[in-house]
Amino acid sequence: MKFKFFVITTLLCSFLLKAQVGINTTSPKASLDIEVSNSSSPNRDDGILIPRIDNFSTIEPGPDQDGMLVFLTGNGTPAKGFYYWDTVSSKWIPLIKTRHYIGELYGGGIVYYVDTDGEHGLIASLSDLGGGPVAWGLYGVDVSNCESYLDGATNTASIITAGGQAGEAAGLCNNYVSGSFTDWYLPSLIELRQMATALVTINPILKNDGNPLTNPIDVGGTSSTSGFYWSSTEANPNYAKIHIFTSFDSNSQQKSQGNSRVRAVRSF
């Protein structure tokens, strides 16, 4: 009797282990087969919810999790979307690569430049910082490692290290926080010029978004300094580079003069 019970139990367990699982169906056609209530008129909750997380775990998954799927909400650092774990490369790989575009409200600001792959680029703050024209600061100081026309992040870090103040051009950007992002900086001259090429797209969006806290780039007015914006590119101990959006020209401005505006940027 005990032997017969053992045989029946073993066969039953074997069947259960090999059985296919069906949800809303008694005839599953795969290891897991989920059918909706009505394929032509489904309910709003017909689907599968993949685990939703704000950030990846600080402890990397192991080989047993190769291919594990999660959904990033976009409320953390990684971009919103589905990701799977690839053990070989030890990376989370996006299922669909996001292609960003000029004029997109993203990353705490507005995208004004994208690479050819659409994944990386530059973001401008949604408004000028400091409430109006400010000084660059550090007049008479030769800031080391601050002459780059391309690398505004390094320029800004050098200015802060040399004693740039919170109310001055680089300090305003360094302390700026938007969309929970803190990696803003004063753009280099080329990064500032690149913003000018996107004005026809980004300025109407910033002007017509209905938000009084967002403002377009200053491109005109009666003031002789309208459209003047500081770059982080130092010209010499007394002058730094500016870009003039009204004339689409660049020049040097005395660091101590508070007649140029500040627009923070960050890269992604």
Instruction: Quote the percentage of the chain above a pLDDT of 70.
Output: 92
Q: How far is Cα 232 from Cα 237, in angstroms, rounded to an integer?
A: 13
> Which candidate, 243, 255, 210, places its Cα nearest to that of 124?
243
64-74: pLDDT as tens digits: 999 999 999 98
Res. 17: pLDDT tops 60 = no
The answer to whether the beta carbons of residues 240 and 250 sit under 8 Å apart is no
Strands (E) across the chain are located at: 21-23, 32-34, 52-53, 69-72, 81-86, 91-94, 105-106, 109-114, 121-124, 228-236, 239-244, 249-254, 265-267
Mean pLDDT of 261-268: 97
- Residue 11: its pLDDT value, please? 42
* Residues of the chain above pLDDT 90, percent: 70
pLDDT band with cut points at 50, 70 and 90 for residue 18? low
Lowest mean pLDDT among 26-40, 127-141, 159-173: 26-40
Beta bridge partners of 91: 86
Give the model's pLDDT for residue 37.
Answer: 78
pLDDT of residue 15: 45
Q: 50 CB contacts (<8 Å, ≥6 apart)? A: 69, 70, 71, 82
What per-residue confidence (pLDDT) applies to 3? 47
pLDDT higher at 245 or 77: 245
Q: Tell me the average pLDDT across 28-51.
A: 86
Task: Label residue 1 by pLDDT band (50, 70, 90).
Answer: low
Measure the CA–CA gap between 260 and 108, rounded to whole angstroms.
23
User: Are the C-beta atoms of residues 234 and 155 closer than 8 Å to each other?
Assistant: yes
CA distance 224 to 227: 9
Q: How far lies 252's CA from each of 19, 173, 218, 261, in Å?
A: 76, 20, 18, 14
Taking CA atoms, 16 is separated from 13, 21, 23, 26, 29, in Å, by 5, 10, 16, 14, 16
pLDDT digits (tens, 9 = 90+) for 135-187: 999 999 999 999 999 999 999 999 999 999 999 999 999 999 999 999 999 99
pLDDT in tens, 81-102: 899 999 999 999 988 777 899 9
Q: Which residues pair with 22 in a beta bridge?
A: 33
Task: Please choose, from the candidates 262, 268, 259, 267, the residue with its C-alpha nearest in 3D space to the C-alpha of residue 159.
Answer: 262
Q: Is the pLDDT of residue 243 over 90?
A: yes
